[in-house]
Amino acid sequence: MSLASLCSISTATIKRNVSTSDASMGQIRNYTTAGRGSLPTSSTGRLVLGASSRRFAYEMHDTQNHANWYTTTDPQVDNSDILVIGNDTYFVQAVNDPDLLNRFWCVNLDQFGRQLQ
């Protein structure tokens, strides 16, 4: 079985944060595909779930789920992007090219129970 067939299980929509301010100067975080400009807005790959942990964020208990997105096409993402896979939203933490040959990418993701990073 080829690497490409192993990494063609799901399709993710890639959205980038485009922040604006409200009347009280609070930040409004909007994630849109339009914010990506000429960068890819979708990626075909394989989601592999990792460990989960509990955290205390904004005075409430929450969960944090770690995952990796494996793909054979460069998604060109950074930590201002999210991947939407099915109904789940994952925040990009890092991306790397493990073999340094531009044939395989691993995107480190985190999913938060209340979607607050």
- In this structure, which amino acid lies at residue 15? K
* 3-class DSSP state of 3: helix
Based on the number of CB atoms within 10 Å of its own CB, is 75 exposed (0-12), middle (13-18) or buried (19 or more)?
buried
Domain definitions of the chain by residue range: 3-112
DSSP code of 33? S
How far does Cα 9 stand from its chain's mean position?
A: 16
Tell me: the pLDDT tens digits for 74-104? Answer: 999 999 999 999 999 999 999 999 888 888 9
48 within 8 A of 98, measured Cβ to Cβ: no
Strand pairing category for 60-71 and 81-85: unpaired
Tokens, residue 103: 């044939």
pLDDT at 26 over 60: yes
The CATH class, in words, for 3-112 is mainly beta
Tell me: the pLDDT tens digits for 45-74? Answer: 999 999 887 766 666 777 889 999 999 999
Tokens, residue 36: 């990506």
